[in-house]
Every structure is written in structure tokens, then in C-alpha cells.
């Protein structure tokens, strides 16, 4: 019987963590993101939370493992444009000498296209975690949107059901040792009050740790993290920035590098095409994007991919107009000869 017991000290020494990629945050959290725990990061849009989630996903995977990640995007991704940022993941993989294709193949993305589908999607993720032994991390973008509704009439039924479903999901993750990292925005509070996360008391009670992130004001770009709740640590805070945290300087990827990654992704797509003529058409699009790279980088279009597609459309329209003029000239020549 004596061999069945493990001392508390040994348990503490065998804890495993996922690094946030930032030494200051790891230290604030007692070593990083602990396996099997539930973390909530919240703050304003420019607080770096989205990038932090992507970096945690990257740090959770290695080339020599079979671990997988589930990414759940809550809310309307078409309006918010918050679906998984492939280019950032590819960039992070390259900086850590990881195979981007291997990393992307092990990320499972779930999206709910309507409020009615949210409960169904969460339940599907729960079943996946129960049957898959390789899930290491569940990343949830904007979790609070699970518990808000545009229809006040139906919210009293839908939201309690979702709360029960999410509780069952958390129970399954805890039993399997799956870590949950979620994000959300700021709740409306009185002026002068400390910012609180969206989702109400239920979300705050459910998670193990709550961290508030904010971008500080000043000439030097810096970020501040407040540890508000933790299962083993007292509330505290840390300041980190570009100068003392190299990872923080990658919160915004250079536009030219993002364009290069998009072109590389397009090249992978091109090689997968079966039709030779479609491959040639893709080559034309890539050349057009390379030729007009300044216009793409200086556009106000939300993503570089959309700017590339617009450039390809403009290039196709230009070719169509030249072809139309050529046909018109041929028609006039033919008419003159037959006349």
C-alpha cells in the first residue's frame, strides 16, 4: 500500500507546463500554462491575446510528438474575422525550426456558424476529447460569446444548456489532462473600476486562473499582465515589452513577411492542382501579386489574402480587356476583308 501514495512535493516537481513564449508571463503563472488547468485571458483587442493564444498552440506541439490541438472559434467569424490565423502559425513554426505542415495537420478547428450550433459544437468537442488520447490543448477564442445571445427571449433556455455542456467539456478535459486556454473581451463596468471579463460570474467561477492583459501607454511598446485568480498563487502583476521580451516583439508580423507566407501557401495550393491549365492560371496570379506587392502591403483591406485575391481579379480583368480589344480588332479586320 505504501507504494501507491505519492508525496505532494513529488507531484509539484512532476508538473508539466506549456510556455507562453514570454519569460515574464511564465514566471507570473508559476512556470507557464500547467497541464490539465483552465486559463482565461482577457483584455482589449490590442492587448496581444490572440497572438498569445497562437503562440501557446505552437509551443504545445513538437515535430517528434503525435499531440493534437483543438481550436474553437466562438461568435460569428465572418463578422469578426477571427478564424485561425494560419500565417501566424506558419511564421511561429519557422522561427522554432518546426515543420509548418506537420504542425497545421495536428490542429483541429471547430466553428459555430449560428447560436443554434454552439451547443452542438461544444458537445462534439467533448466527444472528441473523450475518444482521442492525443489532445493536449483546447484553445477557445472569445469564450464569453457562448453565453451571450441576440435573442433575449431564447437566452434563458439556451445559455443554461450551454453552461451545462461547457461544464461537461471541462470535466472531460480535466479527466484526460487536457489544458484549456480561452480568451474574451472586457465587460462593461463603471468608469474608474478595474476591467472585468465578459461572461459574468459563471465564467469567472469555472476557470482556474484569470489573467488580464493590457497595452501600456508611452513611447516604448510594453504590456502588463495582472494575475487575478490562480489555484496556487496570490494575485500579482508583471510588465513586459519588446526590449526585455523578444517574443513580445513578434505580436505583429511584418507585412512583407506575411505576404511571402501567403505566396508560399498559394504555391502549395498550386502544386496540389491537377489541371495543368489551372496551375498556369495560378502562376499568373502569383506573378501579379509579386509585381504589385507594394499595392498589397499599402492597402487597407483586412487581410493580405484578400488583397492578393483583389490583385488577381484586377489582373484577370486587365487581360480580359486586352482580349476584348483584340477580338474587336479581329472582327473589324474580318469585316473589312469580307466587305
Q: How confident is the model at residue 9 (pLDDT cuts 50, 70, 90)?
A: low
pLDDT confidence of residue 1: 44
Report the domain count for the chain: 2
Is residue 241 domain-shared with residue 292, that is, in the same domain?
no
Is 4 inside any structural domain? Answer: no
> Which range of residues forms the domain containing residue 167?
15-250
pLDDT at 319 over 60: yes
Is 99 inside any structural domain? Answer: yes
Question: Under 8 Å CB-to-CB from 216, ≥6 apart: which residues?
Answer: 222, 223, 224, 239
pLDDT at 12 over 80: no
CB of 303 within 8 A of CB of 258? no
pLDDT at 204 over 70: yes
Pure H helices in the chain = 8-13, 23-28, 49-59, 77-80, 86-95, 100-105, 115-131, 152-176, 200-206, 255-272, 276-291, 293-297, 304-338
Is residue 141 domain-shared with residue 160, that is, in the same domain?
yes
Is residue 298 domain-shared with residue 182, that is, in the same domain?
no
Is residue 147 domain-shared with residue 275, that is, in the same domain?
no
Is 152 inside any structural domain? Answer: yes
Is 6 inside any structural domain? Answer: no
pLDDT confidence of residue 213: 92
Sheet holding 209-215, edge to edge: 107-111, 68-73, 135-141, 179-184, 38-43, 209-215, 222-229, 236-241
pLDDT at 304 over 60: no
Is residue 177 domain-shared with residue 143, that is, in the same domain?
yes
Is residue 176 domain-shared with residue 261, that is, in the same domain?
no
pLDDT confidence of residue 220: 55
Q: Which of 30-44, 211-225, 252-266, 324-338 has the lowest mean pLDDT?
A: 252-266
> Tens digit of pLDDT for each residue in 229-286?
998 899 999 876 533 333 433 334 455 555 666 666 667 667 777 777 777 777 777 7
Is residue 146 domain-shared with residue 286, that is, in the same domain?
no
Q: How confident is the model at residue 51 (pLDDT cuts 50, 70, 90)?
A: confident
- Picking from 250, 274, 301, the residue at the C-terminal end of a domain is 250
Is 9 inside any structural domain? Answer: no
Is residue 191 domain-shared with residue 321, that is, in the same domain?
no
Amino acid at each position: 500500500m505504501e507504494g501507491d501514495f505519492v508525496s505532494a512535493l513529488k507531484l509539484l516537481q512532476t508538473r508539466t507546463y506549456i510556455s507562453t513564449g514570454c519569460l515574464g508571463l511564465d514566471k507570473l503563472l508559476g512556470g507557464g500554462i500547467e497541464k490539465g488547468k483552465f486559463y482565461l485571458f482577457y483584455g482589449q483587442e490590442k492587448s496581444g491575446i490572440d497572438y498569445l493564444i497562437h503562440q501557446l498552440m505552437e509551443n504545445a506541439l513538437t515535430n517528434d510528438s503525435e499531440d493534437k490541438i483543438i481550436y474553437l472559434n466562438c461568435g460569428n467569424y465572418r463578422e469578426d474575422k477571427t478564424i485561425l490565423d494560419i500565417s501566424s502559425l506558419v511564421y511561429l513554426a519557422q522561427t522554432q525550426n518546426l515543420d509548418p505542415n506537420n504542425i497545421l495537420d495536428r490542429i483541429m478547428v471547430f466553428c459555430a456558424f449560428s447560436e443554434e450550433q454552439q451547443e452542438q459544437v461544444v458537445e462534439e468537442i467533448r466527444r472528441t476529447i473523450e475518444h482521442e488520447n492525443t489532445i493536449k490543448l483546447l484553445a477557445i477564442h472569445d469564450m464569453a460569446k457562448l453565453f451571450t445571445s441576440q435573442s433575449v427571449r431564447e437566452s434563458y433556455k439556451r445559455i443554461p444548456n450551454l453552461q451545462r455542456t461547457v461544464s461537461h467539456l471541462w470535466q472531460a478535459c480535466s479527466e484526460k489532462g487536457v489544458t484549456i486556454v480561452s480568451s474574451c473581451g472586457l465587460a462593461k463596468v463603471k468608469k474608474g473600476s478595474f476591467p472585468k471579463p465578459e461572461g459574468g460570474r459563471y465564467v469567472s467561477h469555472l476557470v482556474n486562473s484569470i489573467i488580464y492583459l493590457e497595452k501600456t501607454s508611452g513611447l516604448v511598446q510594453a504590456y502588463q499582465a495582472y494575475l487575478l485568480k490562480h489555484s496556487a498563487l496570490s494575485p500579482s502583476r508583471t510588465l513586459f515589452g519588446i526590449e526585455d521580451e523578444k517574443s513580445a516583439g513578434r505580436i505583429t508580423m511584418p507585412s512583407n513577411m506575411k505576404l511571402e507566407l501567403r505566396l508560399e501557401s498559394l504555391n502549395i495550393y498550386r502544386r496540389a492542382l491537377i489541371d495543368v491549365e489551372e496551375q498556369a492560371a495560378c502562376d499568373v496570379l502569383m506573378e501579379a501579386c509579386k509585381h504589385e506587392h507594394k499595392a498589397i502591403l499599402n492597402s487597407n483591406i483586412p487581410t493580405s489574402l484578400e488583397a492578393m485575391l483583389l490583385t488577381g481579379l484586377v489582373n484577370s480583368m486587365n487581360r480580359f480587356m486586352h482580349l476584348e480589344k483584340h477580338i474587336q480588332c479581329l472582327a473589324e479586320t474580318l469585316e473589312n476583308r469580307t466587305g
